[in-house]
Every structure is written in C-alpha cells, then in structure tokens.
C-alpha cells in the first residue's frame, strides 16, 4: 500500500507562532520543547508531522539502536563508544521521525527496562529500550499531554533538558542518549496541567481557528486540493519546502557563533522582575530562544527584536495566574521595558 504524502509545512495557513516555535526547536533541540494549546482541528498534529518531513537528513551510526551521531563523541551510547575505540564508526543517512507517546504509556514503556536476573547471573547490563531510546534525535510527540500521569511528564521533561535517559533498578544503573524535540499538544477544555510542569516546557503557544474569512477559505481550498491529489499538491510547495529546509540547516550551523550583547542579559532580567515571573528558568530559556531566532534570521548577533519575539513564546505560560486561566502578557509593558 502506497503511503500518502505528508501535508507540507509551508502549506499550512496562518498559525505563525506555532510554526515558529516548532522551527526554533528544530534548530536548537536543547531549548526544551514546545507546548501547543488549542481547540480541535487547528493543525496541531499536522504541523508536527509536517516539520519532521521538512527537516534535513542526518548522519547516524549504522546499526545503532539509538541512531547516535557519529560526529558527536560526547553523545555516543556505550556500544558506539566501544565500537569507535575499535575503529571508524559506519555511517548512514537517516530522516527524522515523529515518535508518538500514548497517554496510556507506563513508565517502563517510556524509559525502558533492565533485566535484573541477567545482570546478576551473567554480570552484564541487559537493557530493553523504551520510547525515549527510539526518540533520540527525533521528535517525541505527546498528544493530550495534559492527560499523562504527572510522573511520566516529569521523566519526559527531565530527559528533554538533560539529553540523557537514566534507568535505575535494584542498585543497577543504565544510561543512554535521549536528545529529542519534545512537542506536547492539548485542548484546554479537557483539563490543565500543573503550573510547575507547564514551566518546564521551553515555549508555549495558543492556537485558534482562523477568524479571517479569506484565510479560512484558503484553509478549505488547500485541504481539498491535497486530498484530491496529495503528490501533485506537495509538488507545488517543493521549492518553498527546500528553501525552509536550507534555512534551518544554515541556522543550525550559525547558532554557536551568534553573539549575545550584555544589554540583552540586562533586559531579560528586567522583564522577569517587572512582569513577576517566578524562578530563573524563564530567563535562561528567553536568552536561548532569542539566540536561536537570531540564527534563524541569519544574524551573527542577537538583538532586542529577537528578545521581543522570544518573549511572546517564553513568558505567557509562566506568568502568575489562577488555575485554568491563561497567562496574559502586557505587551505595552514589554515594549516599554525594552525601549528604556
């Protein structure tokens, strides 16, 4: 059976904040993921799967169950590290995939399991990989993330920040790389997630159905055209897709070279204090997002405009609020603070 071509990322109408937040995480997975909140039928899952199809291929160690990066020795699993000591690692080009995590997943299914009997009997660590192993260097997609057990969300977010999954059972420990782009989606009508967990998502956006008649008409037209002939529809956007792929690739290369002016550090601290944002995680995330946006724009130094755009994605869900109330950012206040 022939697989239907994936709906092109560049063909999605509107939802600019959602698309930008996904692109920034694709450029810089260490940001820590994005939470997309919105009503049904607003292209949340479509955008996530379209992003994976958009991203450039990447080198991986051939035969590695974690598809390690052969050019990053610090992120190799134990098996690849031993193979590297014996000689050059064999390589292959792989495409990024979307790994789904069902809301019913148990902790063992997520993190993997250790065979304690085998470890005691044979003296070796027998590890059965879980979803986090499969997700390494891929997109981990959690639909209805607000319905996940809290301790599972904790595990996911810890791995997303650290880039490592550690499993400990009966005094035996095993670790493997787990560097992935975490994307959670949810419908606020079906319940909220705890503020302390919400804060762990680097970026957050709220998506709504288009209210502009022309844009809404274009959504219908494109969807019907895609369903009539997916291959022909995707071919129309091939040039735009390739251009965005190259822009992401270039931003990844440029990102380590982007300079951070002291002024942006001072403005970040000022925003957090004046807007009443708790903790320091928001400050660090805001700077990382601003640097990533500068790289995406092709600039070698981050500017106040990068900080302003990043603030819209980083700060609203961290504003002090009552339960089930969306955070609101006073943009007049933000502009005033950045202009001082």
Active site members: 281
Interatomic CA distance for residues 245 and 154, integer angstroms: 32
SS3 78: helix
What are the DSSP E strand ranges found in the chain?
34-38, 58-61, 91-94, 98-100, 113-114, 127-128, 139-143, 164-169, 172-177, 181-186, 203-207
Q: How many residues does the chain have?
A: 340
In the numeric block, which tokens belong to residue 10?
A: 């560049």
Write 47-50 long-range contacts (CB < 8 A, 24+). Answer: 47/9, 47/12, 47/15, 47/18, 47/19, 47/22, 48/22, 48/98, 48/139, 48/141, 48/183, 48/185, 49/6, 49/7, 49/98, 49/141, 50/6, 50/7, 50/8, 50/9, 50/12
Interatomic CA distance for residues 259 and 237, integer angstroms: 34
- Yes or no: say if 337 and 274 are a contact pair by the CB < 8 Å rule: yes
Q: What stretch of H or E contains 89?
A: none
- Yes or no: say if 152 and 107 are a contact pair by the CB < 8 Å rule: yes
Give the Å distances, CA to CA, from 78 to 174, 176, 179, 215, 284: 10, 8, 15, 51, 31
SS (H, E, C) 217-250: HHHHHHHHHHHHCHHHHHHHCHHHHHHHHHHHHH
């Amino acid at each position: 059976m022939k697989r239907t071509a994936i709906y092109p990322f560049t063909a999605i109408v509107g939802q600019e904040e959602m698309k930008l937040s996904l692109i920034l995480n694709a450029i810089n997975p260490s940001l820590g993921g994005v939470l997309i909140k919105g009503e049904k039928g607003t292209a949340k899952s479509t955008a996530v799967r379209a992003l994976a199809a958009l991203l450039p291929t990447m080198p991986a160690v051939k035969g590695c169950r974690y598809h390690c990066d052969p050019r990053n020795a610090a992120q190799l699993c134990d098996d690849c590290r031993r193979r590297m000591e014996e000689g050059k690692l064999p390589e292959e080009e792989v495409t990024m995939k979307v790994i789904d995590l069902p809301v019913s997943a148990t902790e063992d299914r997520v993190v993997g399991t250790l065979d304690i009997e085998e470890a005691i009997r044979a003296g070796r660590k027998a590890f059965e990989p879980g979803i986090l192993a499969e997700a390494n260097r891929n997109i981990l997609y959690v639909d209805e993330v607000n319905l996940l057990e809290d301790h599972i969300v904790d595990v996911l977010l810890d791995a997303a920040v650290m880039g490592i999954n550690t499993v400990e059972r009966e005094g035996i420990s095993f670790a493997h790389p787990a560097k992935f782009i975490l994307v959670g989606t949810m419908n606020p009508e079906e319940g909220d997630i705890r503020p302390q967990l919400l804060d762990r998502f680097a970026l957050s956006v709220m998506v709504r159905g288009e209210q502009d008649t022309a844009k809404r008409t274009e959504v219908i037209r494109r969807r019907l055209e895609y369903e009539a002939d997916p291959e022909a529809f995707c071919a129309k956007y091939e040039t735009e897709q390739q251009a965005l792929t190259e822009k992401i690739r270039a931003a990844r290369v440029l990102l380590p070279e982007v300079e951070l002016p002291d002024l942006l550090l001072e403005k970040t601290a000022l925003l957090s204090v004046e807007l009443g944002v708790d903790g320091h995680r928001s400050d660090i995330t805001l700077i990382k997002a601003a640097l990533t946006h500068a790289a995406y724009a092709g600039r070698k130094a981050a500017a106040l405009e990068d900080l302003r755009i990043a603030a819209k994605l980083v700060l609203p869900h961290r504003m002090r609020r009552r339960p089930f109330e969306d955070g609101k950012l006073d943009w007049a206040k933000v502009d005033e603070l950045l202009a001082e």
